[in-house]
Amino acid sequence: MEQDRHSIAPEVHPDEQLPFDEHDFVAHFQRVSISGEDTSGVPLDDLERASTLLVKALELREKYMRNSHQVFPQTTARFLKSTHSSTITHQERKSIADHPVNPPQSTQSPWVIEIPEDLNYSVRAVNGVFEVFRSEETEEPLPYHYPRLPDFVQDMQMMCSMIADGPLKSFCYRRLSYLYSKFQLHVLLNELRELASQKAVPHRDFYNIRKVDTHIHAASCMNQKHLLRFIKKTLKNSADEVVTVTKGNPMTLAQVFQSMNLTTYDLTVDMLDVHADRNTFHRFDKFNAKYNPIGESRLREVFLKTDNYLNGKYFANIIKEVASDFEESKYQNAELRLSIYGKSPDEWYKLAKWAIDGNVYSDNIRWLIQIPRLYDIFKTNKLMSSFQQILDNVFKPLFDATNNPSQHPEVHTFLQYVIGFDSVDDESKPENPLFDGDVTPPAQWTDEENPPYAYYIYYMYANMTVLNHFRAARGMNTFVLRPHCGEAGPVQHLVCGYLMAENISHGLLLRKVPVLQYLYYLAQIGIAMSPLSNNSLFLNYDRNPFPEYLARGLVVSLSTDDPLQFHYTKEPLMEEYSIAAQVWKLSSCDMCELARNSVLMSGFPHKMKQHWLGPNYTREGVAGNDITRTNVPDIRVAFRYESLLDELANIFKVNNEQKMQYASQQ
């Protein structure tokens, strides 16, 4: 091994013309370089085969991301383009003056927006996926392409056989081990330099850099003490307000508590019993029951639902209190999950009306819509006849609001602040895998059995893809897919996430699948991890793979999941960071890198991200880092970027050589 004390310019594609000298953005630090041509440590045949398979897998993901208007990382895309000999365009670098540190705040109401004209197109479901037609009589839909189900199943099968391939597993495991060791050496050689560059930055430290809670559920975004105080305050001030109807009889809040023989004095945090404990470990059913304060589903309905007798009035108030805490801290933001169950077509209208009437808005909050996989329960209770009904109820209102916004103004307005979709439920439930052949279309899925995870994710992705094309054509915001994935259950879920999701939540099972973990690294797929949540449900804290993922360079962030169940303080995200820092001895640089990752993978608007990370945050490597805003040293960013370049160059060099050799033989 040789230590190189001189700065090395990152590799630039020959077709790429930079409008500035890239050497300006090369950090000076101690690098470790490996001598010799082949540094993979595997036989040449295995290396060639591994390169071919990995490039094929990256091309697959790029296809799915491009189709659905989701983000694929520039660096990896650049290498993929080099295999097709196409040119690359670069953005012009902006100066700080182009983007002032304190942008002017809008005084206009967030709910006052321009309503585009109606198109009056026809929207119909074809084999479970909504298509847009210019009129009722038109038989040919608008050319919004998405992968068909048989193609997806074929891609899934190819990926599944790939992750089980012995030589490829060995290769990926070796590369991941190498990346881990490389990071340990980097820290050994450069930790003091990173710390010195952080100390040299005025004003910024870990407390005043932007961080986003990338995985948190709205119904449990407050801690238990906050919920208790809110219930007591509401009971004191609104005791005579009718809050529910039981057996045809209206009941006031005071009567609800009288029926439980409780007064405000009796209420305690222990009595609320919303905290996860040792009894919830591997018991998702018991964990779900913790959403019911005092074990009463009535209280959950009154205080933690958007659709109830009071139209979610109390829930809106407590969310606004949480939002004001975020605004007070200034540097913390959250992407809250709200539920759309697919039980009825007016759920979207009610949810939008709840947000607008209750004025549930904050610059620090954006919404993700979670769709629970509950078809089997709806079917058992005879609420629907086929899976197609869920798809109709979830997606038809979105197409209608995009097609004719003036007829659905509330939904159209609310969607400005929705960034994507999440899929939630217990992943460890047994399920039949999705095989090829005659896969039942949604309209014919009438069994009481729940469709597999991949079936749900495919139809969410396919409908979202057509919707994104439609909305992009109208100049409206588009959505991303960010499902719960790899928390438990089969590893095939992670294959779905790899193909179709921009980011995922949890990803614990990647620790068992080196091929997928390496692909998640190469494709820089964001993983929102919640070690405290996992500790209560599926995996003890000390066994969490989070520190290994971070060391290897996967794009991970810390998130809270459910502060109501897992956290004690007023700032649950800071609690999550502080415990991780103590247990895994994270440095200040590690913490700031995690915060920067959380902003990058979040769905907040581009202008906000420019303000939080710097005007050039979308650029590759050090050119995209502004230490005065992120507090992440250029040394760390350069190390991550150069490591990724090395890995990609390793794979694509061999792959391109193979192609040239094959072409010369023809």
- Does the active-site annotation cover 506? yes
- Give mean pLDDT, residues 581-585: 95
- Give mean pLDDT, residues 23-40: 71
Q: Give Cβ neighbours of residue 44 (< 8 Å, ≥ 6 apart).
A: 38
pLDDT of 3 above 50: no
pLDDT of 542 above 60: yes
CA distances from 344 to 66, 145, 304, 386 (A): 32, 28, 19, 13
Structure confidence at residue 18 (pLDDT): 43
Sign of CA pseudo-dihedral 629, 633, 639, 640: negative
Q: How confident is the model at residue 382 (pLDDT cuts 50, 70, 90)?
A: confident
Q: Which of 406-410, 433-437, 653-657 tops mean pLDDT?
A: 406-410
- Give mean pLDDT, residues 170-186: 94
pLDDT of 378 above 50: yes
Structure confidence at residue 88 (pLDDT): 39
pLDDT of 14 above 50: no
- Helices and strands: H and E segment counts in the chain: 25, 15
Q: How confident is the model at residue 286 (pLDDT cuts 50, 70, 90)?
A: low
Torsion angle (degrees, nearest 10) of CA 446, 448, 451, 452: -150
- Percentage, residues of the chain above pLDDT 90: 53
What are residue 217's DSSP bridge partners? 337
Question: Of residues 521 and 2, which shows the higher confidence score?
Answer: 521
- Give mean pLDDT, residues 610-627: 92
The DSSP 8-state label assigned to residue 27 in this structure reads -
Q: How confident is the model at residue 487 (pLDDT cuts 50, 70, 90)?
A: confident
Question: Of residues 25 and 663, which shows the higher confidence score?
Answer: 25
pLDDT of 22 above 60: no
The predicted-structure confidence for 513-536, as pLDDT tens digits, reads as follows 999 999 999 999 999 999 998 888
The predicted-structure confidence for 196-249, as pLDDT tens digits, reads as follows 999 999 989 999 999 999 999 998 899 988 998 998 899 888 888 888 888 778
Give the span between the Cα atoms of 211 and 188, in whole angstroms. 27
pLDDT of 96 above 50: no
Q: How far from chain centre, in Å, is Cα 294?
A: 32
Report how far apart the first and last C-alpha atoms of the chain are (Å, whole number). 40
Tokens linked to 98 = 């182009």
Structure confidence at residue 4 (pLDDT): 45
Give the span between the Cα atoms of 32 and 643, in whole angstroms. 11
Q: Give Cβ neighbours of residue 342 (< 8 Å, ≥ 6 apart).
A: 371, 378, 389, 390, 391, 393, 394
Structure confidence at residue 295 (pLDDT): 67
Domains and CATH numbers, the chain: 188-635 (3.20.20.140)
Residue 355 and residue 361 in contact, taking contact as beta carbons nearer than 8 Å? yes
Angle at CA of residue 487, ends 483 and 488, nearest 5°: 120
Lowest mean pLDDT among 40-44, 146-150, 163-167: 40-44
Give the span between the Cα atoms of 479 and 532, in whole angstroms. 28
Candidates 186, 506, 567, 611; catalytic one: 506
pLDDT of 308 above 90: no
CA distances from 549 to 102, 263, 529, 554 (A): 35, 48, 10, 5
Question: Of residues 247 and 164, which shows the higher confidence score?
Answer: 164
pLDDT of 11 above 50: no
Phi and psi dihedrals of 257, rounded to 5?
-75, -35
pLDDT of 80 above 80: yes
The overall average pLDDT reported for the chain is 85
Residue 517 and residue 543 in contact, taking contact as beta carbons nearer than 8 Å? no
pLDDT of 36 above 70: no
Structure confidence at residue 101 (pLDDT): 43
pLDDT of 294 above 80: no
- Give mean pLDDT, residues 460-487: 93
Phi and psi dihedrals of 365, rounded to 5?
-130, 140
- Give mean pLDDT, residues 118-134: 91
